[in-house]
């Protein structure tokens, strides 16, 4: 009995049905690669959504130690979390349009990104009451999401009566089609942003996300904002920077079943086996962010392509069989020699052998959604393999 754990805390890393191995060295190398591509612009890091699902604490700490001094988050509370690990960085809050965040921004020294004339009025009023505090200005150049119109921004820049409390340290916009390099909307947005940038002379400007950095020097301006490229995801249909995989997701086999040709697997009996099969039932499902759309069959919205996703083990791709369920997914391991896999072993979901974006495409989505959907049931292992191939 003396070998038993002494407390619940001793059990925190036991009993996981899936694990994430996150290579912080690869993440830092990817940021440095984007930093080099951004030159002569400065390179920030987008660490919203809990560092794209990989842990904002670890991600922001590693990037700060690597020299990153500009971070972008979505909410003020995300900014507070990052501030603890990036003490001298400038942290921009991009969705800072909700009331009641003024005090948070001041106490945590966050820079709110104002995205409408109402935001500008609200912020200048707050500054008049409490003293000046830096802000950033978002301009909509053709996405129709957040931002002042170009006309509003230019008028604001020329308004000699604008309050002294309005003191932006950055003017930014966001590309809608940067992942398609020859899309005409890119140049249209560029011309609009140039007009805005020239109106706010002497203030830093930011335009490019990961894919935008690869569009060329005209798109870099003063500060770039890579996100998905840092985390090892693809940035577009035609352009792929030399970034490294950062996260490997694996699931543990719960049991191995044998089934006969003609039998069915999972809900809806949507797949009928065409051979005698060995099936690895694994502890992963859509509650873990392994999307139902990755199912091997029985997904109505993907009726045009029934192949679904696959896992990987021992050099072999292992198709998903039938529907992904909340907590369990079946993989076809028939092509692996009998006895090579057993209950408790792991199957890779994505990582070095199965590309994140290939899995995303199999589910009709993008790598961003897979990463940011990762649930809380994974064991998370942080490693540093920098310098390895």
What is the pLDDT averaged over residues 347-356?
Answer: 96
Alpha-carbon gap, residue 164 to 123, rounded angstroms: 11
Residue 355 and residue 366 in contact, taking contact as beta carbons nearer than 8 Å? no
Structural fold of domain 247-354: Lyase, Ornithine Decarboxylase; Chain A, domain 1 (2.40.37)
Confidence of residue 160 (pLDDT cuts 50, 70, 90): confident
Q: What is the pLDDT of residue 8?
A: 54
pTM of the model: 0.91
Q: What's the pLDDT at 386?
A: 73
Span 40-60, pLDDT tens digits: 999 999 999 999 999 999 999
With residue 378 as reference, give the H or E element that holds it.
strand 378-383
- Active site positions, annotated: 48, 267
Top-level CATH class of 24-224?
Answer: alpha beta
The 10s digit of each residue's pLDDT in 70-105 is 999 999 999 999 999 999 999 999 997 777 788 999
Mean pLDDT (whole number) for 253-274: 96
In percent, how much of the chain has pLDDT > 90? 80
pLDDT of residue 181: 93
Weakest-pLDDT range from 175-184, 208-217, 239-248, 310-319: 239-248
CB 347 within 8 A of CB 312: yes
Q: How far apart are CA 360 and CA 134, in angstroms?
A: 39
Position 235 scores a pLDDT of 85
Among 8-22, 105-119, 195-209, 359-373, which is the least confidently predicted range?
A: 8-22
| 134-144 mean pLDDT | 96
Instruction: Report the alpha-carbon distance of residue 95 to residue 78 in Å, rounded.
Output: 11
For the chain, residues classed under CATH 2.40.37.10 are 247-354
> Can you spell out the DSSP letters for 6-29?
SSGGGGTTSS-SEEEEEEHHHHHH
Instruction: Give the chain's length.
Output: 389
Q: Determine the pLDDT at residue 300.
A: 56
pLDDT in tens, 145-158: 999 999 999 999 98
Reference 330, options 372, 246, 373, 268; nearest CA is 268
Query: What is the model's pLDDT at position 3?
Result: 62
At 239 the pLDDT is 56
Helix (H, G, I), strand (E, B) or coil at 67: coil
pLDDT the model gives residue 378: 96
Q: Give me the pLDDT at residue 301, please.
A: 53
pLDDT classification of 305: cutoffs 50, 70, 90 = low
pLDDT attached to residue 389: 44
Cβ neighbours of residue 122 closer than 8 Å, sequence gap 6 or more: 99
| Contact status, residue 270 vs residue 323, Cβ threshold 8 Å | yes
Start-end of CATH 3.20.20.10 domains in the chain = 24-224
The predicted structure's pLDDT at residue 297: 72
- Residue 2 has a pLDDT of 54
Question: What is the pLDDT averaged over residues 312-338?
Answer: 97
What rounded mean pLDDT belongs to the chain? Answer: 91
């Amino acid at each position: 009995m003396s070998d038993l754990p002494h407390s619940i805390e001793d059990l925190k890393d036991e009993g996981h049905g899936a694990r994430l191995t996150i290579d912080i060295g690869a993440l830092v190398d990817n940021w440095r690669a984007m930093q080099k591509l951004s030159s002569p612009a400065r390179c920030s890091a987008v660490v919203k959504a809990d560092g794209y699902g990989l842990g904002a604490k670890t991600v922001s700490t590693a990037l700060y130690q690597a020299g990153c001094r500009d971070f972008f988050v979505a909410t003020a509370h995300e900014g507070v979390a990052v501030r603890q690990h990036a003490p001298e960085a400038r942290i921009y809050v991009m969705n800072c349009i909700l009331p009641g965040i003024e005090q948070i921004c001041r106490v945590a020294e966050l820079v709110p990104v104002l995205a409408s004339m109402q935001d500008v009025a609200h912020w200048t009023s707050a500054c008049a009451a409490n003293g000046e505090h830096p802000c950033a200005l978002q301009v909509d150049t053709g996405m129709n999401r957040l931002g002042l119109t170009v006309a509003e921004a230019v008028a604001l820049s020329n308004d000699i009566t604008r309050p002294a409390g309005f003191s932006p340290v950055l003017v930014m916009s966001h590309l809608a089609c940067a992942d398609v390099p020859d899309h005409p909307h890119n140049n249209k947005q560029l011309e609009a942003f140039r007009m805005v940038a020239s109106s706010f002379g002497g203030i830093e400007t930011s335009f490019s996300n990961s894919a935008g950095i690869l569009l060329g020097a005209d798109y870099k301006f003063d500060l770039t904002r890579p996100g998905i490229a840092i985390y090892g995801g693809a940035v577009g249909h035609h352009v792929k920077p030399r970034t490294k995989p950062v996260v490997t997701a694996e699931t543990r086999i719960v049991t191995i079943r044998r089934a006969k040709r003609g039998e069915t697997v999972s809900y809806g009996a949507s797949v009928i086996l065409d051979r005698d099969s060995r099936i690895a039932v694994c502890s992963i499902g859509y509650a873990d962010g392994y999307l139902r759309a990755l199912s091997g069959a029985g997904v109505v919205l993907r009726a045009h392509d029934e192949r679904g996703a696959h896992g990987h083990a021992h050099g072999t791709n292992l198709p998903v069989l039938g529907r992904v369920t909340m907590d369990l997914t079946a993989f076809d391991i028939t092509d692996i020699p009998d006895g090579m896999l057993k209950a408790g072993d792991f199957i890779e979901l994505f990582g070095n052998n199965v590309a994140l974006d290939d899995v995303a495409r199999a589910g009709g989505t993008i790598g961003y959604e897979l990463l940011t959907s990762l649930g809380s049931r994974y064991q998370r292992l942080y490693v540093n393999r920098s310098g390895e191939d």
